Amino acid sequence: MRFIYTKAFAIFFACLVLLVFLVFFQTKGWLDPVRNAVLQSPRPVIYLVKGVVSPVKTFFSTVYRLKDISSENTRLNSRVLELQQNLVQYEEVLRENETLTKELGFVKNSKQSLVACTVLSHNPFGLTDSLVLNCGTESGVIEGQAAISQGYMVGKVIYSGKNSSTILLSTSSKFSTDAKVSQTNASAIVKGSFGSGLILDQVPQSTDLQKGFLAVTAGINDKIPKDILIGEVGDIVSTSNDLFKRASLVSPADFENLQFVFIVKQ
């Protein structure tokens, strides 16, 4: 019986009574405000801590990833450059295919003996309006032969090596060839006009010459067959007082961007 008078018993009894009251208050719902207050009290502290820690965490995370971001940026720039190069190559191949399609369409209908050549370079050795081709004497290419594109004469061979040759474009001021007007059979001379075009010259004043008439090779030169198209008559630039008629010639050939030509073998 002495235990009930001890200090330990008193503490135990007090805790038991407190527990009974807490259970009673809980069943009545009287402890809910206290519980909510206890649960809500840490939230301002939590929000404050998050507000301070979050920017710091973001900063150090960004600094840590700077190297990765730089590497990724370099990789993406390289990929963009690669795609741009692929696009340029694709467009170049597309243009070449279009050009080849036009050329092959002419070749199929041509009765002439032709040597297909690819343009290697423009204006070699300082020569005005000239092209270097990948075909030479081994392919039957010799000096003086005509070079054509899409059926129109674009120049003639001025040098021929074993596996390469050089042609002078018909737009060069150094170019000239015998010609005739297809509609009237009138004799003429075709000259280059300082790289800016073609001129039909020395047409007899007595013959008819109109815009739209065609100029073709006359066949006087034994290395250039007759009736190769050269161009279409444009503006008449002579007057009735001139000894000969003179006119500009228009050619559909793109002299500045020739990629393929054919050499006409006699």
pLDDT, tens digit, 9 for 90 and up, residues 51-96: 655 665 565 566 666 667 777 777 788 777 777 777 766 666 556 5
Residue 265 has pLDDT above 90, yes or no: no
Would you list the domain boundaries of the chain?
Answer: 31-109, 113-265
The pLDDT, as a whole number, for residue 81 is 76
DSSP label of 113? E
Top-confidence residue, 62 or 119? 119
pLDDT, tens digit, 9 for 90 and up, residues 9-64: 667 667 766 666 666 656 666 656 655 555 555 555 555 545 655 665 565 566 66
Rg over alpha carbons for the chain, rounded to the nearest Å, is 46
261: amino acid identity, one letter: V
131: amino acid identity, one letter: L
Percentage of the chain modeled with pLDDT above 70:
64
Measured CA to CA in angstroms, residue 117 lies from 67, 95, 140, 155 at distances of 52, 17, 11, 13
CATH fold of 113-265 reads Thrombin, subunit H (2.40.10)
- As a whole number of angstroms, the distance between CA 169 and CA 165 comes to 13
DSSP characters over 211-266: TT-EEEE-S-STTS-TT-EEEEEEEE---TTSSEEEEEEE----GGG--EEEEEE-
Top-confidence residue, 180 or 3? 180
pLDDT, tens digit, 9 for 90 and up, residues 193-237: 865 689 999 999 999 999 999 999 999 988 999 999 999 999 999
Helix, strand, coil tally for the chain in percent (to 5) = 40, 30, 30
